[in-house]
Amino acid sequence: MTDKPKFIPYRNNLKTKARELRANMTEPERKLWFQFLRNFPHPVLRQKPIADYIVDFYCARLKMAIEIDGDSHFEGEAMTYDAKRTHALEQLGLRVLRFTNREVMEEFETVCERILQEAK
């Protein structure tokens, strides 16, 4: 097994895009943030640049990234890109939780319970 980095790489050039994404969250992202993650027992950041990516939500204390996938994530190359992205984040020692827009909007309590379970 390879050693995991002791720090999470940060690309300064992604900062502006991350700010834009924070200002324009999708409806599922807003719901998860305002109804759950904003008051999560551990600090969570929105739209956090990590390596070459911007994750939807990131909890440094738990080394956990939470991604909310819209419909475009299930088409052609997007699925390959997401798999590559998840693998790269896992190589940094992060746990990556992925939920669909539908799960957040229609199965909200289940999504929240899974996040809490992963936080243990």
pTM (predicted TM-score): 0.85
Mean pLDDT of the 44-70 span: 94
Contact 82, 51 (CB under 8 A): no
Instruction: Report H helices in 1-120.
Output: 15-23, 27-35, 76-91, 101-106, 108-118
Domain 28-118 of CATH type 1.10.1840.10: no
Average per-residue pLDDT for the chain: 88
Domain spans of the chain, in order of start: 28-118
User: What is residue 75's predicted lDDT score, i.e. its pLDDT?
Assistant: 61
Confidence class of residue 35 from pLDDT cuts 50, 70 and 90? Answer: very high
pLDDT digits (tens, 9 = 90+) for 75-92: 667 678 888 899 999 999
